[in-house]
Amino acid sequence: MANDDTVTSRRAERILAYMLASALGLSIIAMLASIIGGQSMDGVWPVIRVLPLIGLPIGVLLLLALLVVSSIRRGREAKDARN
């Protein structure tokens, strides 16, 4: 049973890591696009300008969640290694 818990835990860590990378990557690309695009506020540019305001805080929350999940897994592995 412990093997299934480890696989599930690592899967959760992988999913959180990919979500974190995509949120931060998309936000950084949107920042670069708004810098390159200039001050134009026509079309899709307002969405691109707002995207980092949403994506970066979500990325920070995902980072904190990843740290918590990782530390819980490492604590369980250390406890199992002692027994």
Per-residue pLDDT, 4: 66
Crossing angle, helix 2-37 and helix 45-82, to 10 degrees? 160
- Which string of DSSP letters, residue by residue, matches 13-71? HHHHHHHHHHHHHHHHHHHHHHHHHTT--STTHHHHHHHHHHHHHHHHHHHHHHHHHHH
The pLDDT tens digits of the residues spanning 5-44 come to: 667 778 989 999 999 999 999 999 999 998 888 777 788 8
| Domain ranges, ordered by start, for the chain | 20-76
Token pair in block for residue 61: 């929350």
Q: Which among 79, 74, 57, 83 has a CA at the least distance from the CA of 13?
A: 74
Average pLDDT score, the chain: 88
Q: What is this structure's pTM?
A: 0.80
Distances from the Cα of 32 to the Cαs of 1, 27, 36, 41, 54, in angstroms? 47, 9, 6, 15, 15
